[in-house]
Structure 1
Amino acid sequence: MSNQVCAPALAIRRCCSDDVHHMLPLMRQLRYPTTPSVLKERLTMLEGHEQLCSLVAEVDGVVVGTIFLKQHQTHDMMKPVTSITALVVDEKHRGTGIGKRLLLEAETWGKERGSSQMFVSVAGDNNITSKSFYEYSGFTCTGYRLSKPLA
């Protein structure tokens, strides 16, 4: 009898609209109010979009994390940039390197499309933990996020 240790298999792939029920708990952990139908509509919009992307992390076939990306051209940069619009790893899987793997895949996606930089805004209750995670991952804090409602 063998004493083999089986490590969990981590896979990163493009998200699809069929992932909606696996994504709902992650969106709730981000405190994003959404319904299955609204989330399915948004995930369907992302499929095949050139400037928008959502990746998911699966451990042994179960979705445990996601990152949403947007590539855009700014007036002050020669090359486009990639923005992280959301990143979440399931609470039970945080601290295991899944967030870092999602970031590495996001960087690859941005580079493949010619982006020169990656940006992220950190706000909300978890901003200290999130800010530390991004700084540890090579991001530099260059300012503050300010917002104003338009409605």
Structure 2
Amino acid sequence: MPISIRLALLNDAATIATLSDQLGYRSQDDSIQKRLKQLLNNHDHLVLVALKDNEVTGWIHCFYNLRVESDPFVEIGGLVVDEGHRQSGIGKMLVEEILAWARKKGCEKVRVRCNVIR
């Protein structure tokens, strides 16, 4: 079955929490759900999930940054693909969706920060 990308939903919180554990961020489902609710109602944030066989296999969060000293940009705040689904193009698909969103927002740059351990 092909991989599809869609906006995250509040009922994705438990799976997002499980995947976040793979990044080393221990979070409770209810905490993720509270934050997700705020993010989904903010037009300067985008949270997407990847689905394979109707199962969430990855997620990405990005946000629009407007600064005095520089042109606006989008920053990727988090990206994870389930360990069992890596090397299958899911991460690339999620990033491509973010790049398209950034273009719609008028941003030429997308930034990402990463822990040196990763």
What is the TM-score of this pair, normalised by structure 2?
0.94
Matched, 1:86 2:78: yes
Report the 3-state secondary structure (helix = DSSP H, G, I; strand = E; otherwise coil) of the residue aligned with 1:86.
strand
Report the 3-state secondary structure (helix = DSSP H, G, I; strand = E; otherwise coil) of the residue aligned with 1:41.
helix
**Larger strand share, 1 or 2:** 2
Superposed structure 1 runs of 4+ greater than 3 Å apart = none
Deviation of 1:124 after TM superposition, in Å, equals: 4.1
Which residue matches 1:76? 69
Larger RCO: 1 or 2 (CA < 8 Å, sep 6+)? 2
Q: Which structure has the larger Rg?
A: 1
C-alpha distance in 2, partners of 1:27/1:124? 17
Matched, 1:24 2:17: yes
Which residue matches 1:103? 95
Superposed, 1:11-90 pairs within 5 Å as 11-78=4-71, 80-90=72-82
What's the Cα RMSD here? Answer: 1.1
- Count residues in correspondence: 118
Q: Tell me the percent identity.
A: 30
C-alpha distance in 2, partners of 1:48/1:14? 12
C-alpha distance in 2, partners of 1:67/1:51? 14
Report the 3-state secondary structure (helix = DSSP H, G, I; strand = E; otherwise coil) of the residue aligned with 2:110.
strand
Report the 3-state secondary structure (helix = DSSP H, G, I; strand = E; otherwise coil) of the residue aligned with 2:92.
helix
Mind listing any 5+ residue stretches in structure 2 that lack a counterpart? none
Mind listing any 5+ residue stretches in structure 1 that lack a counterpart? 1-7, 127-151
